[in-house]
Homo-oligomer: A and B are copies of this chain.
Amino acid sequence: VGGLTVLRAIKAVLPDLPTVYLGDTARLPYGTKTAETIAHYVRQNVAFLVRQGVDSVVVACNSASSVLNALGDLGVPMHGTILPGARAAAALTRNGRVAVLGTGATIRSGAYGRALRQLVPALQVVEQSAALLVPLVEEGWWQDEVTRQVAWRYLQPVQQAGCDTLVLGCTHFPILRELIGDLLGNQVALVDPGLALAEELRCSSGFSLLEPVGSAERKVAAKERWFCTDPHPGLLELAKAILGKEQQVSWEFADLAGEMAADLPSTP
Contacts and interface: CB of A to CB of B under 8 A. Distances in A.
A260 B256 CA distance: 10
A157 interface: no
A75 B267 contact: yes
Contacts of A104: 234
A198 interface: no
Given A74-B267, A75-B267, A257 B138 contact: no
Contacts of A222: none
Contacts of A150: 146
Interface residues of A, number: 52
Given A149-B146, A267-B74, A268-B75, A257 B135 contact: no
Contacts of A160: none
Contact of A260 (B47, B138, B261): B261
Interface string A71-89: 0011110000000000000
Contact of A44 (B51, B233, B264): B264
How many chain copies does the complex carry?
A: 2
Given A34-B231, A40-B257, A40-B258, 17 more contacts: A26-B27, A26-B37, A32-B138, A34-B232, A37-B229, A37-B257, A43-B266, A44-B264, A47-B266, A74-B267, A75-B268, A76-B268, A132-B136, A146-B146, A146-B150, A259-B264, A260-B260
Interface of A: 25-28, 32-34, 36-37, 40-41, 43-44, 47, 50-51, 73-76, 104, 108, 131-132, 134-136, 138-139, 141, 146, 149-150, 153, 229-234, 257-268
22 contacts: A26-B33, A33-B230, A34-B232, A36-B230, A37-B230, A40-B257, A40-B258, A40-B261, A43-B261, A44-B264, A47-B266, A47-B267, A75-B267, A104-B234, A131-B139, A132-B136, A132-B141, A134-B135, A135-B135, A146-B153, A260-B260, A260-B264
